[in-house]
Each structure stands twice: as C-alpha cells, then as structure tokens.
Structure 1
Amino acid sequence: MSAIPSRLSVVTLGVRDMGLLRSFYHALGWPEQPSGDDDWSAFLLGGVLLALSPLPELAAEAAPGVADPAGGWSGVTLACNVDDRADVDTAFAAAVAAGATVVAEPTDRPWGGRSAYIADPEGNRWEIAWAGTAVFDERGSLVSFG
C-alpha cells in the first residue's frame, strides 16, 4: 500500500454565500449531512463527500497569505456521471430548474459520450455526463471507467 491511498474522499468548495449554495444543493434533492449548517455543510454523493466551507475559513487553512480568488471559473470542473445517455438531458433540466446557470447544453461528444455543463449559484462548474464505459456499484460509486 502506498503512503497516500489512491482514493478521493472529500471535495471542498470555498463558498461566499453558504445559505444560497446549501439551498441549491437541497433543490437538487441531495441529502445534507445532519451536522450541516451555515458554518459548514456536506452532502454524501456516492462515496465522496461534497463539503461546503466558508471561503475565508478554508483559505486560512489551505492558502494562508494568498488573496481570495476574484470569483468566476476556477479552472476546475466537478462531474456527475449518470446511468444512461438520456439521463444527461433529464439531470440537466433538473439542475437548471433548481437554479443552475446553463454553461453548455447537452450534446453528444467526440469521445462517444454525452454531456452538458452547468454552474451552481457561485460559478462552480459541473459536468453532467454519460460515458458508456462507466460502471457504478449499488451506492452509485464509480468502480471502473473504461
């Protein structure tokens, strides 16, 4: 075993408006962890925790002395892979109905899958994707990808 296990356990977003982002993820129907409040919140998504932390507090730990980002796209995307090609369109519509901003409409991609992009209320980019090679377990955790 390596000193650092090959796993992704938590993705933390530094947020400016905790109430807004919590409401958005609730509107997607994602279950919030019982300890969630406006000081810290999290959603367990298929074996990975999506954590929300106030940006100043996260920056103090992860980027001490570095200026806060100005906003906009960070250069990072998060992805939610769905089970079927048609599910991309359904999930995309649900995200937009929950308050997401359209970045790119659902389309078939040159790599053989289908995907769309949305932004949450703070501009974090999410890809909603279907890839025929993705295999999930009963919890929705990705177990292989090609």
Structure 2
Amino acid sequence: MTPRFALLGLVVADMSASLAFYRRLGLDLPAEADAQPHVEASLPGGLRLAWDTVETVRSFDPDWTPPRGGPGISLAFACDDPAAVDGTFSTLVGDGYRGVHEPWDAFWGQRYATVADPDGNHVDLFAPLDG
C-alpha cells in the first residue's frame, strides 16, 4: 500500500492562542478545544490539520525540540479576492499578529501576503489578481 498524505500537524506552545489565530482564518474550532492537548480539524478534501501542545509531544518523545533555522512549514489560505488579502492581513497585523510580508502583486498572478501564527509558522494569504 502506498502511504497517502492525510494530516498536517503543528506543535504549539499555547493551544488557545494558536486556535484563536486559526479561527480568524475561518477554521471551525470549538471553544472547548482551547483546553485540550490535541485538537484536529477536518479540511475540505479530507485532509486534517492537527495541533499538539509541546507537553503532549514530549509525553511520547521526551527529547523533542523545535525545528531550527526559521519556520519549518507554511500554510496558505485562499481569500475571495485581492481586497480580502489586504483586509485580512491588515486586520491580523492590527490585532497584534506579526506581518512577515505585506500584500503584493506576485509575478505568478496572485495577490499575496504572509503573517506569522503565534508559534512563528508562516501563513500565506492569496487570491487571483484577475478575480
């Protein structure tokens, strides 16, 4: 059997802060999840996104350390149009999240921006320029 990609996991320092950020991007995460050590959300197409606290990961891998050399992954969220990229970026940065790259018109035909989640993972926002 060939393995198939099914889950993307994030290790987080503060579950509540991380889930609050991803709720801002439209993920449906119940409030009671904030107090859980492991949380999963089903995404369109069957992929799942999971969050584990550092303590949870260290419960089965006591020597776990965060990746070195900068953000290890980036996630990308599609926005309805270029104005939504600008608005979402502006709102998140205005609410205290770190802007990594302000919105720009990318040569590949998209309006693009990058913010950092509470753990420093890069989260891209994009929309087609012609749509």
How would you bin the TM-score normalised by the shorter chain?
A: 0.7 to 0.9
Question: Would you say the 8 A contact 1:73–1:125 is kept in 2?
Answer: no
Give distance in 1, aligned partners of 2:94 and 2:50. 22
Q: Which amino acid aligns with 1:4?
A: P
CA contact (8 A) 2:115 2:124 kept: yes
Q: CA deviation at 1:108?
A: 0.4
Fraction of identical pairs, as percent:
30
RMSD of the alignment, in Å?
3.0
Matched, 1:19 2:20: no
Aligned residue for 1:54?
Answer: 53
Residue 114 of structure 2: aligned partner: 117
Distance 2:30 2:69 in 1: 27
Corresponding residue number in structure 2 for 1:144:
none
Identify unmatched segments of 5+ residues in structure 2.
none
User: Displacement of 1:70 after TM fit?
Assistant: 6.5
Deviates more, 1:90-99 or 1:10-19: 90-99
The alignment covers a number of residue pairs equal to: 128
C-alpha separation between the residues in 2 aligned to 1:60 and 1:132? 46
Q: Return the TM-score normalized by structure 2.
A: 0.74
Unaligned residue ranges in structure 1 (runs of 5+): 134-146
Per the alignment, in what secondary structure is the counterpart of residue 58 of structure 1?
helix
Q: Which residue does 1:40 correspond to in 2?
A: 38
Which structure shows the bigger proportion of residues in helix conformation? Answer: 2
